[in-house]
C-alpha cells in the first residue's frame, strides 16, 4: 500500500473513491498526521481493515466492497465465463470477510454482492457484465451509507429531544468513534450528536478516550473539534463519576453487531457504560443502520468476539509505540463486549427508533418486517 499526504479535508472523509481509484484516511496516524493510503485490490483492502487503517462497521463493509471494485475495474484480462467471474468475486469476498469477524456489516455486504453477481451471471453473456454489476453495487453502498447516517441522526436527535421533558439543552456521552471516520460520512451515534448540535439543542458532547486503541481521543475528539461541536474528552474510568455529577443526560453508542433480541456487540467498555447509566438512571441508546442487525442470531451469546494483539496493551499508541507494561505479563484484549438488550433504552436506525415497550428484549424482526411491508407499497 502506498501513501499520499494531503491536507485536512473540510468534509472529513475517511473514504475517497472515484473511477476505480480508492484511498483511505490512515486513522492510525490521526490526529497528528492526515495521510491517505492507496488501495489497489482486495489484498490491500484486507490489510487496511485488519490493521485498522480503517475501522467502524459501516466503513469496513464499504472498504471491502470498494477494494474489490477497484481490483476488478483494473483487471487487464479475464479469460472466463460469467459463472467464473461470479466465483472469482465470491472467493475474494470470503477472503475480505476474514479480515475482521465481529462486525456484521461486512458479512452482510459480502452476502448481498454474492447474491447479486450470481443472479447476473445466470443471464449474462460475458464476464464483464458480472464485474460491472459488482462495481455499481459497491458504489451504491457508498452513496447509501451517507443518506442512512443522516436519517439515523435525524431520528435519534428527535427522539432524544422528546425524552428531554424540561426542554433544556442535552449533554451526551459517547464511546469509541462512530462518526465520519467510521462510516462513509456523518456517522451513526456521532451523527445523532451532530444532528443535536445542528438543531441547537446540544449542550455538550463527552467522549471517552476508548482504550487501548484510543479511538475516542484520537478520532472522535478530532471530529468534534473539526466540526466546532462543544465537547470534552474524559478517561474511560471517569464515566461513572461524570454521570454521578449529573453532567450526562444520555449515552449513545454505535454497534458492530446487533442480535435479534437487541443484544449489542460494540467496542470494549460499552457494557460498563451501560451498567453505569442504568445505575444512575440515564438512558442508554444504540445507533446503528439496519445492516448492523444480524437477525439470524437470537442473542449476543452467538456473537464471535474478536481478540486483538497483546501489543495494543503492552505498548503506547495502540501497540505501535514504546513498551509500557512489564515484560512477561499475560494479556487479554477483546476488541468488543456485548451489552444485553435489558439495559438498552432504544435502538436508533435509519428507518426509525426501536423500543422495548416494557419487555426484556426488542422485537427487531417485527420492526424489520414492518419496514419491509411499508416500503413495498
Report pLDDT digits (tens) over 248-286: 999 999 999 999 999 999 999 999 999 999 999 999 999
Q: How confident is the model at residue 1 (pLDDT cuts 50, 70, 90)?
A: very low
Report pLDDT digits (tens) over 86-125: 999 999 999 999 998 877 889 999 999 999 999 999 999 9
Is there a contact between 20 and 47 (Cβ–Cβ < 8 Å)? no
Distance, CA of 244 to CA of 332 (rounded, Å): 29
Distance, CA of 40 to CA of 173 (rounded, Å): 38
Given this chain, do its domains 3-145 and 151-375 carry the same CATH topology? no
Extents of the domains making up the chain: 3-145, 151-375
Look up the CATH number of domain 151-375: 3.40.50.10470
Instruction: Kindly report the length of the chain.
Output: 377
Q: What is the pLDDT of residue 9?
A: 44
Asked if residue 6 has pLDDT above 70, the reply is: no
- How many angstroms separate the Cα of 361 from the Cα of each of 203, 356, 371? 31, 6, 19
Q: How confident is the model at residue 238 (pLDDT cuts 50, 70, 90)?
A: very high
Distance, CA of 190 to CA of 176 (rounded, Å): 10
Report pLDDT digits (tens) over 197-223: 999 999 999 999 999 999 999 999 999
Give residues with Cβ within 8 angstroms of 373, minimum separation 6: none
Q: What is the pLDDT of residue 253?
A: 98
Q: Are strands 202-208 and 231-234 parallel, antiparallel or unpaired?
A: parallel
Cell numbers found for residue 331: 494479556
Q: What is the pLDDT of residue 318?
A: 75
Q: What is the pLDDT of residue 77?
A: 87
Distance, CA of 61 to CA of 40 (rounded, Å): 16
Q: What is the pLDDT of residue 376?
A: 61
Distance, CA of 179 to CA of 163 (rounded, Å): 23
CATH superfamily, region 3-145:
translation initiation factor eif-2b, domain 1 (1.20.120.420)
Q: What is the pLDDT of residue 203?
A: 97
Q: Which positions are annotated as active-site residues? A: 256
Q: Mean of the per-residue pLDDT values for the chain?
A: 92
Q: What is the pLDDT of residue 338?
A: 98
Q: What is the pLDDT of residue 11?
A: 58
Amino acid at each position: 500500500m502506498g501513501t499520499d499526504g494531503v491536507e485536512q479535508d473540510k468534509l472529513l472523509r475517511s473514504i475517497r473513491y472515484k473511477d476505480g481509484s480508492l484511498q483511505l484516511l490512515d486513522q492510525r496516524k490521526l490526529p497528528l498526521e492526515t495521510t491517505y493510503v492507496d488501495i489497489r485490490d482486495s489484498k490491500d483492502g484486507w490489510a487496511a481493515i485488519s490493521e485498522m487503517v480503517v475501522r467502524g462497521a459501516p466503513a469496513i463493509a464499504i472498504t471491502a466492497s470498494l477494494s474489490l471494485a477497484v481490483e476488478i475495474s483494473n483487471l487487464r484480462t479475464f479469460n472466463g465465463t460469467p459463472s467464473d467471474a461470479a466465483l472469482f468475486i465470491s472467493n475474494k469476498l470470503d477472503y475480505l470477510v476474514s479480515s475482521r469477524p465481529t462486525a456484521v456489516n461486512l458479512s452482510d455486504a459480502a452476502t448481498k454482492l454474492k447474491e447479486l453477481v450470481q443472479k447476473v451471471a445466470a443471464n449474462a453473456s460475458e464476464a464483464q457484465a458480472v464485474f460491472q454489476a459488482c462495481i455499481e453495487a459497491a458504489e451504491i453502498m457508498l452513496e447509501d451509507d451517507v443518506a442512512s447516517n443522516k436519517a439515523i441522526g435525524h431520528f435519534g436527535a428527535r427522539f432524544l429531544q422528546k425524552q428531554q421533558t424540561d426542554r433544556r439543552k442535552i449533554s451526551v456521552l459517547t464511546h469509541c468513534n462512530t462518526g465520519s471516520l467510521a462510516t462513509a460520512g456523518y456517522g451513526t451515534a456521532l451523527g445523532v450528536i451532530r444532528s443535536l448540535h445542528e438543531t441547537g439543542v446540544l449542550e455538550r458532547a463527552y467522549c471517552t478516550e476508548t482504550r487501548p486503541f484510543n479511538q475516542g481521543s484520537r478520532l472522535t475528539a478530532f471530529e468534534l473539534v473539526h466540526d466546532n461541536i462543544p465537547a470534552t474528552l474524559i478517561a474511560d474510568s471517569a464515566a461513572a463519576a461524570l454521570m454521578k455529577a449529573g453532567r450526562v443526560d444520555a449515552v449513545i453508542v454505535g454497534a458492530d453487531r446487533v442480535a435479534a433480541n437487541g443484544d449489542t456487540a460494540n467496542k470494549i467498555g460499552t457494557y460498563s457504560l451501560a451498567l453505569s447509566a442504568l445505575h444512575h438512571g440515564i438512558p442508554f441508546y444504540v445507533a446503528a443502520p439496519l445492516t448492523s442487525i444480524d437477525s439470524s442470531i437470537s442473542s449476543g451469546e452467538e456473537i464471535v468476539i474478536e481478540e486483538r494483539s497483546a501489543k495494543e496493551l503492552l505498548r503506547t499508541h495502540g501497540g505501535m509505540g514504546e513498551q509500557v507494561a512489564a515484560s512477561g505479563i499475560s494479556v487479554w484484549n477483546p476488541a468488543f463486549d456485548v451489552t444485553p438488550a435489558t439495559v438498552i433504552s432504544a435502538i436508533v436506525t435509519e428507518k426509525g427508533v426501536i423500543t422495548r415497550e416494557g419487555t426484556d428484549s426488542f422485537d427487531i424482526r417485527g420492526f424489520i418486517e414492518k419496514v419491509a411491508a411499508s416500503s413495498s407499497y
